[in-house]
Amino acid sequence: MKSENGFSDLAFVIILAIILITFIGFIFYCITVEYQNEETIEITVKDKYIKRSGKTDLYLIASEEGETYKISDLFFKSKFNSTDLYNQLEIGKKYKVEVTGIRNQFLSMYKNINKIEEIEK
């Protein structure tokens, strides 16, 4: 059945479903990306700081290698020690770190540091 503007009701429902599925997929991706792309890398801590937004704090680590990382809790990995990890890192020291996630500047997403191990000189 066609409506007044020429689109059929079925076409409208299909287009709406595609938009809705795309939106839900994007939201799901943004939520789960922090649990993906696990890798172990070596970094030297250049600086560390806390970015405050309302009542929320974000622990950020800048490395000598030019990348910025965050340290935050991950519920589905049972990781609730972000403050402890942040306090263990010292500026100028080198660490082997396990990270997950991606760096997306447009969405202000950072790779998340999950484990650290100091590399002795």
Architecture category of domain 37-118 in CATH: Beta Barrel (2.40)
Give the pLDDT of residue 4. Answer: 62
Which of the 8 DSSP states describes residue 7? -
On whether the CB atoms of residues 111 and 55 are closer than 8 A, the answer is no
The tens digit of pLDDT for each residue in 59-112 reads 999 999 999 999 999 887 888 999 999 999 999 999 999 999 889 888 788 999
Give the pLDDT of residue 32. Answer: 77
Residue with tokens 């770190």, as numbered in its chain: 97
Q: What is the DSSP string of 86-105?
A: HHH--TT-EEEEEEES--BT
Give the pLDDT of residue 3. Answer: 56
Q: Which stretches of 33-115 are DSSP H helices?
A: 82-88
The whole-model pTM stands at 0.75
8: exposed, middle or buried (Cβ count in 10 Å: 0-12, 13-18, 19+): exposed
Cα separation, 41 vs 69, whole angstroms? 12
The tens digit of pLDDT for each residue in 6-57 reads 567 788 888 899 999 999 988 887 677 777 889 999 999 999 999 998 888 8
